[in-house]
Structures are given as structure tokens and as C-alpha cells.
């Protein structure tokens, strides 16, 4: 009898603190599996954000640094410049990356820093209790947009992939989702490719993963997956926005 699926060796096995059904956990697994399958776990250095994933350094079974809110790309740059042979990746939420960390992510991309960014977009500030994010959908209520985000005065959701894809030195930019098994498989391939490109010194790679926040969305984990499919994907089209290898 052979094992079809078991917990990844890329995870420490420390029980995760995420709320029930939060897809942060799924994304952790995919990243961990990619590191193992590329056989780079031993030289990987994770950079944890400030956000619900702050404890990522407890979960990924590799060395890690915890970065100030939004600064993970800068921290990763520091690590990678010192140790180019390490595989350095950041794991950042949408508040962390798309709000306070905007300058850092744009400049890591501009510089073609040879790092990989896992961008977990759940359209909200999870850890602080559900405030509006730059990625919050128009009309979506949050604790700081109680009547729903309004286009007038708060603008439209920020499409990070589309924006960063305009930057020349980027190697790979893709948006994926984990709301179904087929999507989850695509997501894993994207993460592997992004990390593989780093191994090949191809430069900056980023994978945006649409994710859920059942707790702050006020939905059951199952309904939250549906919400991703029905509401987020229309606002955040899935796909590959940049691939220096041309392929998809």
C-alpha cells in the first residue's frame, strides 16, 4: 500500500493557529511541498510577515526571519544579497504587501531581486480583526468600511499582479486560487515554478494566492471558498501575468 498523501516534511508539524478552514493553512502546505519537491528545503529561508501568517516561522520546516509589517521584501533582499545560494521567499498578506509594504514590493520587483514572494490575498486585514485592505472588494463591508468599500473616495481593489507585471525585471507573476482541487493543483505548479526560477537565478517571482478569511468575512469555511470563486475571482482574474520563459 502506498501513501497517496501525507503531511509535508516541509512543515514542522506544529499545530497551526489559523481559524478553522482558513486557507492560509492550505497555502502553507503547497509552499512546503514545493520546497521539498524542489529539494531546497535545507537551504530555504522563509520571511514571515506581520499578519495572521506572522507565525509562519513556526510552521515552515526551514530557517526563517520575522519581518516588520510590509518590509518582508526588504528583509529578503538583505538575506539574499548576503547568501545568494539560499532560497529566500516571503509570505505576505495583502495588507502587508499591498498597503504598508507597497514601496518594498515594487522595488524588489524593479531591482529584479532573486527572491520569491507568496502573496496571500484575502481582501481584508485578518489579524487585526477585519479592517479594509487595498484589496477589499467594492461594496465589501469591513470594520473600517461598515457600509462597504465605496469606489468614491476609497477607490477600486488594487490588482498587484497586473501592476507588477509592467515592471521589466520581473521573472514570473501569477495569480492562483485554492478553492478547488484542480485550482489547488495549478497553484502548486505556480509556486514550484516561481521557486524553480529563483533556483535558476532568473530574478523576481511572485505568486498571488486568493485566500479566505471565514472569521472576518463572517462566513463558514465552506461558504468562504464559494465566495472566493464567485466574488474574488471576477475582481482578480486568475492567470500568469509575466513569464520570462514565455510559457504559462
Partner 1 sequence: MAKKLMKGNEAIAAAAINAGCRFFFGYPITPQNEIPEYMSRELPKVGGTYVQAESEVAAINMVYGAAGAGARVLTSSSSPGISLMQEGISYIAGAELPCVLVNIMRAGPGLGGVQPAQADYFQATKGGGHGDYRVLVLAPANLQEAVDLTQLAFDLADKYRNPVMVLADGMIGQLMEPVEFSPYHPAFALPPKDWATTGTAESGGRRRVINSLYLYPDELENHVRAIYRKYAEMERTEVRYELYDCDDADVVIVAYGTTSRIARSAIEKCRRLGLRVGLLRPITLFPFPFAAFDRVVDRTRAFLVVEMSMGQMLDDVKIAVAGRRPISFYGRTGGIVPTPEEVVKQVQTLLGGPGA
Partner 2 sequence: MAEERIIAAGFGGQGILMLGKLLAHAGMMEGKQVTWLPSYGPEMRGGTANCNVIISDAVIGAPIVSEATCVIAMNLPSLDRFESFVQPGGWLLLNSSLVPRASTRHDVQVLAIPVNDIAHQQGSLRVANVVMLGAYLALSQAVRKASVITAIEDVLGPGKQHLLPINLNALDAGIAFATKVQV
Partner 3 sequence: SPRLGPTRSPSVVQASPPPSPPGSAPQKSFLPEVIFEENLCKGCELCITICPTKILKLDTTRVNIRGYFPAIVYNLAECSGCASCAKICPDSVITVRR
Ligand X SMILES: Cc1ncc(C[n+]2csc(CCOP(=O)(O)OP(=O)(O)O)c2C)c(N)n1
Which residues pair with residue 89 across a beta bridge?
46, 116
In Å, what is the CA distance from 71 to each residue of 42, 77, 219, 227? 24, 10, 30, 29
**How would you class 223 by CB atoms within 10 Å of its CB: exposed for 0-12, middle for 13-18, buried for 19 or more?**
middle
* Pair 120, 177: CB distance under 8 Å: no
From CA 198, how far away is CA 228, in angstroms rounded? 29
Give the DSSP H or E segment for 153.
Answer: helix 151-154
From CA 234, how far away is CA 71, in angstroms rounded? 29
What is the smallest separation between the CB atom of 135 and ligand X, expressed in angstroms? Answer: 8
Q: Is residue 228 near ligand SF4 by the rule CB under 6 A?
A: no
Give the DSSP H or E segment for 241.
Answer: strand 239-243
Span of 118-126, 162-170, 191-199, 216-224 interacting with a copy of itself by CB under 8 A? 162-170
**Contacting partner 3 (CB under 8 A), which of 1, 82, 147, 152?**
1
Span of 25-33, 60-68, 148-156, 160-168 interacting with partner 3 by CB under 8 A? 25-33
Pick between residue 128 and residue 231 the one whose CB is nearest to partner 1: 128
**Contacting partner 2 (CB under 8 A), which of 42, 84, 129, 155?**
129
Out of partner 1, ligand X, a copy of itself, none, what residue 63 binds, judged by CB under 5 to 8 A for its kind, is partner 1
Cell numbers at 156, concatenated: 477600486
Strands 44-48 and 87-93, how do they pair?
parallel
**Contacting partner 2 (CB under 8 A), which of 98, 135, 215, 225?**
215
Pick between residue 70 and residue 214 the one whose CB is nearest to a copy of itself: 70
* Residues found near ligand X in the complex (CB under 6 A): 50-53, 69, 93-96, 120, 122, 124-128, 133
* Residues found near partner 1 in the complex (CB under 8 A): 12, 41-45, 47-48, 50, 54, 57, 61-71, 74-79, 81-83, 86-87, 95, 99-100, 102-104, 106-107, 125, 127-129, 131-132, 134, 143-146, 154
Amino acid at each position: 500500500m502506498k501513501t497517496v498523501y501525507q503531511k509535508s516534511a516541509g512543515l514542522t508539524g506544529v499545530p497551526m493557529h489559523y481559524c478553522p478552514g482558513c486557507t492560509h493553512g492550505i497555502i502553507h502546505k503547497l509552499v512546503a511541498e514545493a520546497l521539498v519537491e524542489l529539494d531546497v528545503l535545507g537551504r530555504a529561508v522563509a520571511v514571515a510577515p506581520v499578519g495572521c501568517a506572522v507565525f509562519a516561522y513556526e510552521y515552515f520546516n526551514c530557517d526563517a526571519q520575522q519581518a516588520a509589517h510590509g518590509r518582508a521584501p526588504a528583509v529578503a533582499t538583505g538575506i539574499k544579497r548576503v547568501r545568494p545560494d539560499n532560497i529566500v521567499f516571503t509570505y505576505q498578506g495583502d495588507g502587508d504587501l499591498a498597503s504598508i509594504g507597497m514601496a518594498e514590493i515594487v522595488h524588489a520587483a524593479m531591482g529584479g531581486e532573486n527572491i520569491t514572494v507568496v502573496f496571500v490575498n484575502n481582501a481584508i486585514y485578518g489579524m487585526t480583526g477585519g479592517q479594509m485592505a487595498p484589496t477589499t472588494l467594492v461594496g465589501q463591508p469591513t470594520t473600517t468600511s461598515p457600509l462597504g468599500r465605496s469606489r468614491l473616495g476609497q477607490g477600486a481593489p488594487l490588482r498587484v499582479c497586473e501592476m507588477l507585471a509592467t515592471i521589466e525585471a520581473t521573472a514570473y507573476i501569477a495569480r492562483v486560487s485554492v478553492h478547488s482541487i484542480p485550482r489547488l493543483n495549478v497553484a502548486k505548479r505556480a509556486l514550484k515554478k516561481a521557486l524553480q526560477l529563483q533556483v535558476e537565478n532568473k530574478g523576481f517571482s511572485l505568486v498571488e494566492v486568493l485566500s479566505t478569511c471565514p472569521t472576518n468575512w463572517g462566513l463558514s469555511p465552506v461558504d468562504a471558498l464559494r465566495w472566493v470563486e464567485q466574488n474574488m475571482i471576477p475582481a482578480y482574474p486568475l492567470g500568469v501575468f509575466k513569464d520570462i520563459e514565455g510559457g504559462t
